[in-house]
Amino acid sequence: MAKALVDIHAKFNPSGDNNSIEISRDDIAHYVGTATESLIRTLSDFKAEKLIEIKDGKILVSGLDKLKTLLY
């Protein structure tokens, strides 16, 4: 899941200027190949760890470097 967020962030924000990801949770779940419910639980965990914020339906990546360390 962390890798997917890092990949999506890089794809939709190659310059790194903006930390928000404008993609639906369903689309992220399909990208990862998991159920939307599982994705939502993982996003909640990431939010509790202050790696992301969710505002107005957008995912704001606040801990990109930390997400990258969760890759393996």
Could you tell me the domains of the chain?
2-69 (1.10.10.10)
The span from the CA of 9 to the CA of 25, in Å, is: 14
**Residues in CB range of 39: below 8 A, 6 or more apart:** 1, 25, 28, 29, 32
pTM of the model: 0.82
Question: Residue 54 pairs with which residues in a beta bridge?
Answer: 59
CB atoms within 10 A of CB 29: 19
- Reported as a single tens digit per residue, the pLDDT across 6-30 is 998 888 876 666 778 888 889 999 9
pLDDT tens by residue, 25-66:
899 999 999 999 999 999 999 999 999 998 887 888 888 889
